[in-house]
Amino acid sequence: MLPPPATCYAALQARDPAYDGRFFTAVKTTGIYCRPVCPARTPKPENCLFLPSAAAAEAAGYRACKRCRPEAAPGSPAALGSAASVRRALRLIDGGALDGEQAGEAPPLQALAGKLGVGDRQVRRLFARHLGVSPVAVAQARRLALAASLIDAGQMPMAQVAAEAGFGSIRRFNEVFAAVHGESPAARRKRTTGASPMHLILSRIASPVAEILLVTDEQGRLRALDFHDFEERLHRLLARHYGSFTLAEGPAPAAILAALDAYFGGDLRALDAIPIETGGTAFQRDVWAALRRIPAGATTSYGALAASLGKPGAARAVGLANGLNPIGIVVPCHRVIGASGALTGYAGGIERKRWLLAHEGAALV
C-alpha cells in the first residue's frame, strides 16, 4: 500500500531506507523516477509524483535514475537475480518463513516466493547461484541449530522442541536430526545434559611450524590438536563433538609428545602410533579414519577420498567433514588437495599446509 504523500516526501527528504521499495518518486520536471534513498538533490514537493512500483513509473513514461537504479530496488525485476534478494530471503527464513505448513495456506516455499515477488523456481535458482544450496536446506539447518540449542538448554519435552524449531511432526524431527547429527535427539540430551562433563587436558607445545595446542582425555588419548592462534575454534569443535566438557591446562602424555617430536624430527610414521578418540557422526569418523590411511608424502583429492569410502558422489560432504576434523596433523587433513593439484583451503592456513607437505616430501605444484 502506497504511504500518504506527506509521509513519502518526509521519507524522501530523510532518505529513509525503511521506505526503500515501498514507493518511487517520479519527478515531473525531469521525467526521471527514483528511490527514496537516492543521493540526488530532493525535488520540490510540487514536482513529485509518488508511485507504488517501478513498473507503474515506467508505465507513466518516466525513466529510471542512473544514480539510485530504482529498477533494482527490493521487489523489482532487476533485483531478483541479486544477492540483496537472497539476503532478504534469508531474513525471512530466519523468521520462520519455511517452517511447517498450515492447513489452507500455500506451501512455505511458495509463500516465501510470494513475499519476494518472484516464483518459487526463481528462488531456487537464486539460492543455487549465491549459496550453492536450496532454501529448504538453509531452513532445515536453521531448525536443527535451534533444536540443538533447545535440547542442550534444559528439559523441554522433545515434542515441544520439535514444534519450537519448526518441525511438523516429532517423527520427522527425529529422522532429520539423527541423519544430520548421527545421534537421536534423546541421545544428544543424555550426552549433553544427563552425563557428567568430559574432563579434558590442554597442553601447549612448541613445534617448527607454530605453537601447537593438544587436548587429551584422562585415558591419554588425543582428542584435539590445533594451532595456538585458533584456540577459539578448538573450543567450538570440542563443544560440537562432546557437548559439556571441562578443559584444564596440564602436561601432555609422554608418548604423544615423543611421537610428535619424532615426526618433526623426520620420522614421518611416528604419528601412526598416537591413540586418538573423536566425536562426530559415523560418516565424519569414516572420513577421519580414511585420512589416517593416507601415507606421509602422498596426497589425495576430495573426490578420490569419497570414492575410497564407496561414496563417489560425496566429495562435497567429504570436504565438509575434512573441515570439521578436530585433530590436525595427526589426522592429516593437510594431505587432501584439489583435483588440479592446488593446495586449496586449510583450516590452519595455506602456508602451514605447504610446510607440512614439504616436510613430508610431497610433490607440490
pLDDT in tens, 191-242: 776 667 789 999 999 999 999 999 999 999 999 999 999 898 898 888 877 7
CB atoms within 10 A of CB 148: 20
What does the alpha-carbon distance between residue 5 and residue 50 come to, in Å, rounded to a whole number? 7
Question: Looking at 27, 60, 77, which one is the last position of a domain?
Answer: 77
* Residue 365 resides in a domain: no
The answer to whether residue 333 is catalytic is: yes
Out of 34, 38, 68, 333, which one is annotated catalytic?
333
Q: What are phi and psi of 53, to 5 degrees?
A: -155, 160
Please give the distance of CA 256 from its chain centroid, rounded to a whole number: 33
Instruction: Supply the pLDDT for residue 100.
Output: 57
Report which of 114, 124, 178 is spatially closest to residue 151, judged by C-alpha positions.
178
What is the DSSP code string of 70-83? GGGSTTSGGGTTSH
240 lies in the same domain as 137:
no
62 lies in the same domain as 100:
no
179 lies in the same domain as 314:
no
* Residue 167 resides in a domain: yes
Average pLDDT over residues 74-93: 63
- Whether pLDDT at 88 is above 60: yes
- Alpha carbon separation from 72 to 8, 9, 90 (Å, rounded): 19, 21, 18
* Residue 21 resides in a domain: yes
CB atoms within 10 A of CB 129: 11
* The total number of structural domains that make up the chain: 3
Instruction: Supply the pLDDT for residue 101.
Output: 45
Burial of 147 (0-12, 13-18, 19+ CB in 10 A): buried
203 lies in the same domain as 225:
yes
Q: Which single residue is written with the C-alpha cell 513498473? A: 55
Tens-place pLDDT, residues 30-60: 888 899 988 888 999 999 999 887 767 766 7
- Long-range contacts of the stretch 317-322 (C-beta < 8 A, 24+): 317/283, 318/287, 321/280, 321/283, 321/284, 321/287, 321/288, 322/287, 322/291
CB 33 within 8 A of CB 62: yes
Strand order across the beta sheet in which 245-249 lies: 222-227, 212-217, 198-205, 245-249
Q: Which domain holds residue 91?
A: 80-195
- Whether pLDDT at 115 is above 70: yes
Tell me the three cell numbers of residue 59.
508505465
Tens-place pLDDT, residues 119-176: 888 888 877 776 666 787 777 777 887 888 788 776 678 888 888 888 878 888 888 8
**CATH at residue 17:** 3.40.10.10
- Alpha carbon separation from 262 to 14, 258, 268, 276 (Å, rounded): 68, 6, 8, 17
The SS3 call for residue 106 is coil
183 lies in the same domain as 104:
yes
* Residue 70 resides in a domain: yes
What does the alpha-carbon distance between residue 12 and residue 44 come to, in Å, rounded to a whole number? 11
* Residue 296 resides in a domain: yes
Tens-place pLDDT, residues 237-269: 888 777 778 899 999 999 999 999 999 999 999
Burial of 170 (0-12, 13-18, 19+ CB in 10 A): middle
